[in-house]
Amino acid sequence: MVVELISVGTELLLGNIVNTNAAFLAERCAALGLSCYYQTVVGDNPGRLLETIRTGLSRADLLILTGGLGPTGDDLTKETAAQAFDLPLHMDEHSLERIEAYFRERRIAMTENNRKQAMAPEGAIVVDNDNGTAPGLILEKDGKRMILLPGPPNECRPMFEKSIAPYLRELSGTVIFSRTVKICGQGESGVESRIKDLEQLENPTVAPYAKSGEVHLRVTARAADEKEAKKLIKPVVKELKNRFGSDIYTTQEDVTLEGSVAELLLANGLSVSTIESCTGGLLAGRLVNVPGVSEVFKSGYITYSNKAKRRIAGVKKSTLEKYGAVSGQTACEMAKGCAQQAKADVAISVTGIAGPDGGSAEKPVGLVYMACSVCGTVQVKEFRFQGNRAKIRESAVSAALTLMRQCILAYYSEKTFGK
């Protein structure tokens, strides 16, 4: 089944609102096994909207329209969709009762134009809105379908998950199941070159997605039921684990890189502290985002100035004078000093040049040094990141989490091997 997405609203065309609904719906439709070849944004103009709907119906089995279901005069999605299917509108008493109750419960006077939202095309399936006033609608005619959803994301997304996704699953007659293999410490091109043969598979499929400092491989299978889909996926995930080994930090959709690092720390009873210069606390922030990390996270230091590096981490004045604040030697002393100051088992340091100023031929913008100390064993690493200041800092944080994970794994691997 081919689906086409139409986002309605002049505010989207002008860039006043970011079109997050389209990204959400595209991803969910793909997960449901629907093929999407076109997405369109159209303003609140009935003529252009009607033309867009008719074009969409000529090349897709299903249109999903978001926005334009409100009470104002320029909210014309429902009326225009009804015109495209040549369906008259009538008052849906169930929707009217819900809208009246919505205002009554909030002790707000309901204006007459809100009655407009209760109008529905003849024969339409009305979808209740539990988070707003405008109901959704499903229109069917001559083998074609249109689904109309409210524009606000906090109304659109819950409605889709609760009512529209089950409707679409029933239509497709098949189940789509995905598992995401998340890889850190490797670039997209390197990963892609190692899975070229797997990308030729038709069911399941393997598709790479680049993230900041990570690469995600989504393995997706279509089958009659979830059990059969999982059976198809299992050998492919196993092969990916054989190829990428410990660089895979999870195959669970809801596990983040920082979450996997926190899990590693918790599993081994390791306390951790961070000491940051150019990232200014972003690394500590990523770790603190993880529920339960308070059991292992001891402290986070921001040592932006040389004076702070010396006072808090005990970096030697001679080291700063000879090698500079941005150097492997300084990063090493920062990590050691942090571990000692916080009495932490693991300490990670970051120092670099985020730009846009401060770079030189010898030490360009994007140069970052990190050091990780695990129970006294220290590893130092140099990085050269590209992009603007925000991108460099974001990349540095992802790299620091990866380095910390690698160092902990290496420490316990060597410890086990030594036994």
What is the secondary structure of 276-324 as a DSSP string? ESTTTTHHHHHHHTSTTGGGTEEEEEE--SHHHHHHHH---HHHHHHH-
**Pick the residue with more confidence: 407 or 33?**
407
Rounded to whole angstroms, the Cα distance separating 142 from 88 reads 16
Rounded to whole angstroms, the Cα distance separating 224 from 357 reads 57
Q: What is the pLDDT of residues 209-224, one digit of tens each?
A: 888 899 999 999 989 8
Mean pLDDT value across residues 83-99: 97
Per-residue pLDDT, 170: 86
Per-residue pLDDT, 416: 54
Nearest to 342 by CA among 317, 382, 373, 379: 373
Q: Is the pLDDT of residue 259 over 80?
A: yes
Confidence band of 158 (pLDDT split at 50, 70, 90): very high
| Tokens representing residue 152 in the block | 């606000």
Rounded to whole angstroms, the Cα distance separating 139 from 322 reads 73
Q: What is the pLDDT of residues 22-38, one digit of tens each?
A: 999 998 998 887 889 99
Per-residue pLDDT, 312: 97
| Averaged pLDDT score across all residues of the chain | 95
Mean pLDDT value across residues 131-154: 97
Q: What is the pLDDT of residues 334-392, one digit of tens each?
A: 999 999 999 999 999 999 999 999 999 999 999 999 999 999 999 999 999 999 999 99
Q: How far apart are the first and last CA of the chain?
A: 58
pTM of structure: 0.78
Scanning the structure block, which residue is given the tokens 């009470």?
A: 71
Confidence band of 418 (pLDDT split at 50, 70, 90): very low
How much of the chain exceeds pLDDT 70, in percent?
99
Per-residue pLDDT, 42: 98
Contact 131, 157 (CB under 8 A): no
Other C-beta atoms closer than 10 Å to the C-beta of 181 total: 24
What does the H/E/C string look like for 237-284? HHHHHHHHHHHEEECCCCCCHHHHHHHHHHHHCCCEEEEECCCCCHHH
Rounded to whole angstroms, the Cα distance separating 33 from 177 reads 9
Confidence band of 417 (pLDDT split at 50, 70, 90): very low
Mean pLDDT value across residues 45-50: 97
Kindly state the helix (H) or strand (E) to which residue 126 belongs, with its residue range. Answer: strand 125-127
Per-residue pLDDT, 210: 87
